Amino acid sequence: MTGTGHIVAPRPFPAMARPELADTQLRANLRRATHTIRDKRLRVVSEVDDWEELRVAGAAIKDDVLARLPQLLAQFEAAATAAGATVHWAREATEACAIVTDLVRETGSHEVVKVKSIATQEIALNEALAEAGIDAVETDLAELIVQLADDTPSHILVPAIHYNRSQIRDIFARKMAGVDLSELTDDPPALAEAARRHLRAKFLSARVGISGANFAIAETGTLVVVESEGNGRMCLTLPETLISVVGIEKLLPTFADLRVFLQLLPRSSTGERMNPYTSMWTGVTPGDGPQRVHIVLLDNGRTDTLADRVGRQALRCIRCSACLNVCPVYERVGGHAYGSVYPGPIGAILSPQLTGQDAGANRSLPYASTLCGACFDACPVRINIPEVLVHLRQSGPHPPGERAAMRAASWVMRDRRRYAAALRAARRGTAPLRFATRKRGSIVRHLPWPLSAWTSSRNAPLPPRQTFREWWALR
Amino acid sequence: MRIALFITCVNDLMFPDTGRAVVRLLERLGHTVEFPDEQTCCGQMHANTGYRDEALPLVRRFAETFAAYEAVVAPSGSCVAMVRESYPSLWPQAADVASRTYELSELLVDVLGVTDVGAEFPHRVTYHPTCHGLRLLRLGDRPLRLLRAVKGLDLVELPGAEECCGFGGTFAVKNPGVSGAMLADKCAAILGTDAEYVAAVDNSCLVHIGGGLSRHGAPVRAIHYAKILASGEGVR
């Protein structure tokens, strides 16, 4: 079944990118942040001698999971159920939201605390809970910033990457109830302290916690959350009820497989050797932690993606966001231009695959890349993102004018004589321009549409008087 | 060695001087260069823009045209990447000729075993490693080793060299805003080196970079590195 939720590009990427490109503050914030994480990642990855072997192992384990997905999911369900958890199955976003909303309603609670979770952003859970009169409080610092600002995340790992600290100070001053303005500076410790006080009250009163999961272990029914702040640990341990929304591709066959992924993930995402908090839980432990544990297994377009021989490698993704941080396109436009909670290179292949190429302006996403390959090099599970981008570009319909031009070009180039004649024609056709530009050394500053897109930021040269093959024939 | 030159369609029309430089260079090194007249285009633009069916006849044409040669050389990292990395999956029968198709620096360093080609170019030059040369062909420092051996050449490092210039084929016209923003940063990095020339293995990236530099009246000129390697004594 095709996925739904916050993973559809509402308008074509070039149009979405335009206002972001014009925002010089945003460009500066993104440049600084992506380069900082990029450099950190490079340092900690280069110190691991067997990094390439780890990447190959990570890809192989995930490919094995995808090949045996039905069997492993049944195994996970059985193990988690035996440990006291209740497992639910959701075909798409609306169904997942309804399951979670009903579970919260049953507790009688009107407030939930949330661990940073992109799966719940994907299904627009906060909006669904709000409609049911339930207040969802994001407890990850960056998610809290985005939530207070009535904004949406622009990065998988660093949702508030588009803000700098003085902008964050302003958001806190305007939106954080009861904040002490006299102590609130844009100093990071002061901002963290304000958030800590704000959240502490929520942790202590909340009876329901909602999370995602980084990994789900089929063998044991264990869920794993990897985080930096410890706020996730609070949400996972303090409430009476814990509901986790988990994409079906998050499975790992055995507990031992974590040894590969707990090396790959922190180094690729935050550029740390090890993340500060790794929480694992297996169903219910009597007298310790949540006594009602629910797991919502989410498809939302994943089985559709799995059916595509080339595209299924996108399901290996462990949401580290290394591809975003190295992407030259993401660095210029930020996450909002992709119109999905999955931005950057992985979003450009994941969003159209999960929700279908025909949804919204999804078809523009695979073209939001120069195919420079930096994402593939950085990916800890070796997703060949450029390969999938090109693969997705194959499925039409293409713009009629472009299609006609491409067909014509292919027809011309299938025959040497047609090709040679076309080269001569191109030269003759541009001869008047040569005459007009003779004082500027055969440089053109303005070309008619559609080539005006080229001369919008660069000059164009004119063909010289002799093609290579003409020169060769005369030598 | 009998070497076939694949000029590439962009070079044939727009940059014949790059092709002439490759011929001069290889003949100066004592090799015979042939130019199979049946060649046209490798199909990269079609394949990368999503027109696989339109690319396939061009793939077959390339494979047939160059089948008889020991080595095929092209002065373009991205066209060679198309042939070597994409042909085998597009048309398996092309795998053999694809494995004998080289970017110029691979041919010189790996096949012919030369790094000092006897060139002289007394200028300050910075080098932009194009994405397909860097990350698909893994050219590594081969082009730099060739440039370092050029007499009189002052090679200056380009900050952020491995970042894409923003060309990306049809990306440049499909996403002109983002492409222009990437180009602006690349041009600023190039200007910061005070180089007279920015060299690369691909004229398609260079026409984009050179067009950006020229738009702003910058004194730096974009140059295909084959022209540097072909320059020097006894060269027209």
Tokens encoding A68: 């045996």
Dump pLDDT digits (tens) for B149-208: 999 999 999 999 999 999 999 999 999 999 999 999 999 999 999 999 999 999 999 999
**Beta-carbon separation of B41 and A460 below 8 A:** no
Q: How far is B179 from chain A (nearest CA, A)?
A: 8
**pLDDT computed for residue A441 by the predictor:** 64
Q: Is the pLDDT of residue B2 over 90?
A: no
With beta carbons less than 8 A apart as the criterion, state whether A250 and A213 touch: yes
Within a 13 Å sphere around the CA of B100, how many CA atoms are in the beta-carbon half? 17
DSSP string, A379-404: -TT---HHHHHHHHHHSSPPPHHHHH
The backbone torsions φ and ψ at residue A404, rounded to the nearest 5 degrees and listed phi first, read -65, -45
Within 8 A by CB and 6+ apart from A177, the residues are A198
Q: For testing the chain B interface, which of A26, A38, A423, A468 should be mutated: the one with the most B CBs within 10 Å?
A: A468
Q: Three-class SS of residue B9? A: helix
ipTM entry:
0.96
Residue range B27-50: average pLDDT?
Answer: 96
Helices (H), A281-399: 302-306, 322-326, 328-333, 344-355, 374-378, 385-394
Give the C-alpha separation, A165 to A161, whole Å.
10
Query: Are B169 and A371 a contacting pair at CB < 8 A?
Result: yes
Asked, as a colleague might, if the bond just before A450 is cis with ω within 30 of 0, I would say yes
- Tell me the angle at which helices A416-429 and A400-413 cross, rounded to the nearest 10 degrees: 120
Tell if the CB–CB gap between B19 and A471 is shorter than 8 Å.
yes
Interface check for B87 against chain A (CB to CB < 8 A): the answer is no
- On the question of a cis peptide bond just before residue A397, with omega within 30 degrees of 0, the verdict is yes
For residue A423, give the chain B residue with the closest CA.
B13
**Alpha-carbon radius of gyration of chain A:** 26
| Chain A residue numbers touching B172 (CB-CB < 8 A) | 453-454
- Tokens 């030598």 sit on residue: A475
pLDDT at A267: 98
The pLDDT value recorded for residue A419 is 93
Q: Give buried/exposed letters for A395-419 (b at 16+ CB in 10 A, else e).
A: eeebeeebeeebeebbebbbebeeb
Q: How many CB pairs under 8 A join A and B?
A: 182
What is the rounded average pLDDT of the residues B12-27? 97
Q: Which of B58, B136, B178 sits opposite A333 (nearest CB)?
A: B178
DSSP summary character for residue B82: I
pLDDT at position A178: 84
How many CA atoms does the CB half-sphere of B179 hold within 13 Å? 27
Q: Say if CB B181 and CB B199 are below 8 A apart.
A: no
* Partner B contacted by A18 (CB < 8 A): yes
CA distance B220 to B193: 10
Give φ, ψ of B45 to 5 degrees: -60, -40
Q: How far apart are CA B136 and CA B78, in angstroms?
A: 8
**In chain A, what is the straight-line distance between the N-terminal and C-terminal CA atoms, in Å?**
63
Residue B139 contacts residue B105 (beta carbons within 8 Å): yes
Beta-carbon contacts of B224 under 8 Å, excluding residues fewer than 6 positions away, are B15, B18, B21, B75, B199, B200, B201, B202, B203, B206
**pLDDT at residue B235 tops 60:** no
Q: What is the mean pLDDT of each run of 10 residues along chain A (475 residues)?
A: 91 97 94 96 97 98 98 98 98 98 98 96 97 96 94 92 93 90 91 92 94 98 96 96 98 98 97 96 97 98 97 98 98 96 97 96 97 98 98 91 94 93 87 68 80 89 93 94
Judge: B50–A394 Cβ closer than 8 Å, yes or no. yes
Q: What is the mean pLDDT of chain B?
A: 96
Q: Check residue A443 and give its pLDDT.
A: 82
Summarised one tens digit per residue, pLDDT across range B119-155 is 999 999 999 999 999 999 999 999 999 999 999 999 9
- Residue B166 to residue A370, Cβ atoms within 8 A: yes
> How far, in Å, CA of B10 to CA of A461, rounded?
12
CA distance B37 to B34: 9
Three-state secondary structure call for residue A444: strand
In this predicted structure, the answer to whether residue B236 has a pLDDT above a threshold of 50 is no
**What is the least distance, in Å, from the CA of A399 to any CA of chain B?**
11
Cβ–Cβ contact B164 with A under 8 A? yes
Would you state the pLDDT for residue A198?
92
Angle at A471 between CA A465 and CA A473, to 5 degrees: 135
CB B163 within 8 A of CB B152: no
